[in-house]
Structure 1
């Protein structure tokens, strides 16, 4: 039986969130969705995912703060992929220093994110 991976996506742009939901469900992933950082933090605590995909710029709690929270929690090994504006190099660099695993810059094609997610899960499986 195939192990279904659970992904938490935190994105405040509803159109992008819907597009990612459609694409990732089609790939067989179980999804939990959040539209702001506070909601994502609560979900990280109550229903830990196998991977977090988060926008860097979020209402209430930023994506960078979510990375810090995750790395200081019992789920410190949970991979994180950031979604960031192309011109926000400093925020991307800071989030990577804090422990994010990868990032995509807006605008991006959903297939690019699917490939990055697959690569992270394949790398994890190879280490087991």
Structure 2
């Protein structure tokens, strides 16, 4: 299973990537939303993990592009340090499957990833 991970915090991105790879996932990491979106356009992924606030293109814009332009139902999990309820509601409105506030529990993230991927198979 191949996951795109778009997160501009280097420590968080690398630690989540290491954790998920240890669980058998292949992770393509990006610190910039624009680079992540280019990869999504040209590669096949099973899931997208994206932070909302990133350089280049936001996680919201990535989600909108995947849903509207690519017309894809690939699961999208939005990560954010924003605890604002409206941000969470907006994420679901544009098609995100899950919304996880930081700090992120890797174990909880893994459960949510597995749940989303199981419903796709």
TM range, smaller chain: over 0.9
The aligned residue for residue 73 of structure 1 is: 69
> Are 1:25 and 2:10 counterparts?
no
TM-score (norm 2): 0.94
**Residue correspondences, number:** 121
Q: Determine the structure 1 residue equivalent to 2:95.
A: 99
Over the aligned positions, Cα root-mean-square deviation in angstroms equals: 1.2
Unaligned runs of 5+ in 1: none
4, 7, 15: which one pairs with 2:3? 7
**Alignment of structure 1 residues 29-108 onto 2, 5 Å:** 29-74=25-70, 76-108=72-104
Secondary structure in 2 aligned to 1:7?
Answer: strand
- C-alpha separation between the residues in 2 aligned to 1:91 and 1:57? 11
Larger Rg: 1
Contact map agreement 1:38 1:60 (CA 8 A) in 2: yes
Q: Per-residue deviation at 1:75?
A: 5.2
